[in-house]
């Protein structure tokens, strides 16, 4: 008997958002060239991916000394991708406090059709105006709660309802630290599905080697939309590897609209040749998941640990204990300096 055909997710339809050209920016040190983005987007479009997200790794206007300077402007990236795609929707990510109303308007002018507004998992209220503006601009408004391992399901429901009330048509839970296990994902997705009247999505990181497994748990719990990246390209140990995820979902009978062979070719022929290194789970990225630290902290933490000659694992544990979140990258330096002083009085 073929047991996988008995799973409840058989014959379900799940939307795919590819974040290779946004989350993948972290792994590329934000040095994607516009022409490289265009080539990747064209391959994803040909494979049938529904939405392709494009921006700096930390969202629109993220290019800065704090988060890392990008090789091109958001406008240049969006223009290159918009010209390369025919069927896929162009999406962007915006973090309130980094991106502004003008950035959202600029993205719309460049053809963006979906806007994901991301906040820390307890700060949904700071994204209300941005979600509302996205709707007014004619973009699909999507709310995103980050670092969702840090709070229990009831709190996430409370925060997700704020985004729903603001007009979000889809609310995403991000395991930004790659710290969750399947039961954690299942409990959170099920809580939102039972409490909200909008679609629910899930975005995984692979720091504990659970990205595809956690994404499957999300789908089984009722997620309507999930994320992936070609070759897993993303912050920390990367995201759910899209071509693997599509193959697994296809084996389970889940409809994604993505051509398995074509997405495999996109990964191997277009993305792999431009990757600076293979996306693997090394000790540093493993510690991100273990300590529950924001995945985009990885490269910053490596530089700080090397600069101040301290063990990056200790830095990660301390950052986790301090419950640091996205936007607090400056604390990485502070922690490394403090540790160096302890070692070398």
Of 14-28, 54-68, 246-260, 327-341, least confident by mean pLDDT is 327-341
Residue 304 parent element (H or E): helix 298-308
Q: Is there a single domain that holds both residue 261 and residue 314? A: no
Does the pLDDT at position 74 exceed 90? yes
61 domain-assigned: yes
Q: Is there a single domain that holds both residue 58 and residue 81? A: yes
For residue range 146-162, list pLDDT tens digits in order: 999 999 999 999 999 99
Q: Give percent of the chain with pLDDT exceeding 70.
A: 96
Q: Is there a single domain that holds both residue 329 and residue 220? A: no
Q: Is there a single domain that holds both residue 48 and residue 170? A: yes
Q: Is 97 exposed, middle or buried (0-12, 13-18, 19+ CB in 10 A)?
A: middle
> How many domains, in total, are found in the chain?
2
For residue range 239-259, list pLDDT tens digits in order: 999 999 999 999 999 999 999
Q: Give the domain CATH number at 334.
A: 1.10.8.60
5 domain-assigned: no
Q: Is there a single domain that holds both residue 26 and residue 54? A: yes
Q: Is there a single domain that holds both residue 325 and residue 195? A: no
Q: What is the mean pLDDT of residues 74-87?
A: 98
pTM equals 0.90
Q: Pick the catalytic residue: 26, 30, 56, 120?
A: 26
Query: What local confidence, expressed as pLDDT, does residue 320 receive?
Result: 84
**Residue that is last in its domain, among 229, 246, 272:** 272
1 domain-assigned: no
180 domain-assigned: yes
Query: What local confidence, expressed as pLDDT, does residue 342 receive?
Result: 82
Core vs surface per residue 124-154: b (16+ CB within 10 A) or e:
beebbebbebbbebebbbbbbbbbbbbbebe
Q: Which two tokens stand for residue 158?
A: 């409370």
Query: What local confidence, expressed as pLDDT, does residue 158 receive?
Result: 98
**Residue that is last in its domain, among 230, 249, 272:** 272
26 part of the active site: yes
**Structure confidence at residue 323 as a pLDDT band (50, 70, 90):** confident
Measure the CA–CA gap between 279 and 300, rounded to whole angstroms.
17
Query: What local confidence, expressed as pLDDT, does residue 299 receive?
Result: 77
**Structure confidence at residue 5 as a pLDDT band (50, 70, 90):** very low
118 domain-assigned: yes
Helices (H), 85-148: 101-109, 128-136
- What domain range is 336 assigned to? 283-343
Does the pLDDT at position 317 exceed 70? yes
């Amino acid at each position: 008997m073929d047991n996988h055909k008995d799973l409840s997710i058989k014959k379900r339809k799940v939307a795919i958002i590819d974040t290779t050209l946004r989350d993948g920016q972290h792994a590329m040190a934000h040095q994607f060239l516009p022409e490289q983005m265009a080539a990747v987007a064209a391959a994803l479009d040909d494979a049938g991916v529904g939405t392709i997200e494009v921006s700096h790794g930390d969202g629109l206007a993220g290019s800065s000394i704090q988060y890392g300077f990008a090789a091109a402007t958001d406008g240049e990236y969006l223009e290159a991708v918009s010209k390369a795609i025919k069927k896929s929707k162009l999406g962007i990510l915006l973090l309130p406090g980094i991106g502004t109303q003008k950035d959202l308007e600029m993205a719309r002018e460049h053809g963006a059709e979906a806007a994901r507004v991301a906040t820390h998992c307890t700060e949904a209220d700071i994204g209300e105006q941005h979600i509302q503006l996205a709707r007014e601009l004619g973009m699909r408004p999507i709310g995103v709660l980050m670092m969702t391992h840090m709070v229990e399901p009831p709190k996430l429901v409370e925060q997700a309802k704020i985004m729903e009330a603001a007009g979000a048509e889809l609310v995403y839970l991000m395991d930004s630290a790659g710290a969750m296990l399947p039961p954690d994902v299942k409990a959170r997705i099920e809580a939102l599905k039972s409490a909200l009247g909008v679609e629910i999505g899930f975005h995984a990181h692979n720091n504990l080697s659970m990205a595809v497994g956690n994404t499957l748990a999300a789908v089984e719990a009722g997620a309507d939309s999930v994320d992936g990246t070609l070759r897993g390209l993303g912050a920390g140990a990367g995201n759910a590897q899209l071509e693997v995820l599509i193959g697994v979902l296809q084996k389970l009978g889940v409809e994604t609209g993505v051509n398995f062979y074509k997405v495999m070719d996109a990964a191997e022929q277009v993305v792999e040749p431009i990757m600076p290194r293979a996306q693997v789970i090394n000790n540093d990225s493993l510690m991100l998941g273990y300590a529950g630290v924001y995945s985009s902290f990885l490269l910053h933490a490596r530089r700080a640990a090397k600069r101040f000659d301290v063990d990056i694992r200790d830095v990660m544990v301390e950052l986790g204990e301090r419950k640091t979140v996205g936007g607090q990258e400056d604390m990485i330096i502070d922690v490394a300096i403090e540790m160096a002083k302890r070692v070398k009085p």
